[in-house]
Amino acid sequence: MSRRLWMADEVSGNRAAIIGEHARHLTQVLRAQVGQEFDVSTGSEIRRARVSSIRPARVEFELGETVQSAAGSAITVALSIFKFDRLEWAIEKSTELRVDRIVPLISARTESHLATSAPKRLERWRRIAAEASEQSRRVRPPEVDEPVKWKDILSFPAATKAVLAEGEEKLMLETALAQGSNPIVLAFGPEGGWADQELAGFRQSSWKLASLGPMILRAETAVIAAIAIATAALRQR
């Protein structure tokens, strides 16, 4: 059985620590003891670790051998903000599928109360990504950006930029990605879909409008399906 993985909050040489609620969960819920062994991510690698000291809000480790080094997926997902419970599910699963970066978008059809509330949810989204990273044994969590307007990603620095568009009938996502190179950014519209001016803006900025097929998918389902296709495309390069 794999050792439980923890993301270090502090790293210095061959020592690491987790603090705050992170540490309280380990000490009060899991009843960790000095000498117990876990795996700890330093942000660049996963290392074997032994608990060296315990306080209520701080657990320190001595770091041992390297278990795994960082390897990114070269995939960014730009998610137009939709209902928070489903968006958070998409963030969690995107993390498990090892995307490098998550960019929340405020698009023309994002509900106004969601757009207003989104900045207040940022720390929660980052915490969800961190917890999902520990569960899925990532070396580090994906970056979760502050919410931006859709225009702000038009010039995003990526070799292959694809926007999922329900009205697109000719270009399938797997074909669009096969024609490109790394890194990849995928943009997803809100529940009401992209507005016409947004699609025009993407076209003018050399994004590829692509489809997942004839099915009408929920936003979070489309995210997972597209990441799976992008991951397969990366493996074939």
pLDDT, one tens digit for every residue, the chain (237 residues): 568 899 999 999 999 999 998 899 888 888 889 999 999 999 888 999 999 999 989 999 999 999 876 666 689 999 999 999 999 999 999 999 999 999 999 999 999 999 999 999 999 999 999 999 999 889 999 999 999 999 999 999 888 999 999 888 789 999 999 877 889 999 999 988 999 999 999 999 999 999 998 888 899 999 999 999 999 888 776
Between CA 122 and CA 105 the distance in angstroms is 12
Residues 150, 180, single domain; the answer is yes
Q: How far is CA 149 from CA 86, 109, 137, 173, in A?
A: 20, 11, 32, 24
Q: Are residues 152 and 228 in the same domain?
A: yes
Q: Which domain holds residue 47?
A: 5-69
* 196 and 132 inside one domain: yes
State the Cα–Cα distance between residues 164 and 217, nearest whole angstrom. 11
Q: Both 144 and 27 in a single domain?
A: no
Whether 65 and 79 share a structural domain: no
How many other CB atoms sit within 10 Å of the CB of residue 169?
A: 11
The number of distinct structural domains making up the chain is: 2
| 20 φ/ψ sector (left φ>0, alpha ψ -120 to 50, else beta) | left
Strands 58-69, 45-55: pairing is antiparallel
Examine the domain organization and report whether 19 and 82 are in the same domain: no
Residue 142 near residue 95, CB atoms below 8 Å:
yes
pTM passes above 0.95: no
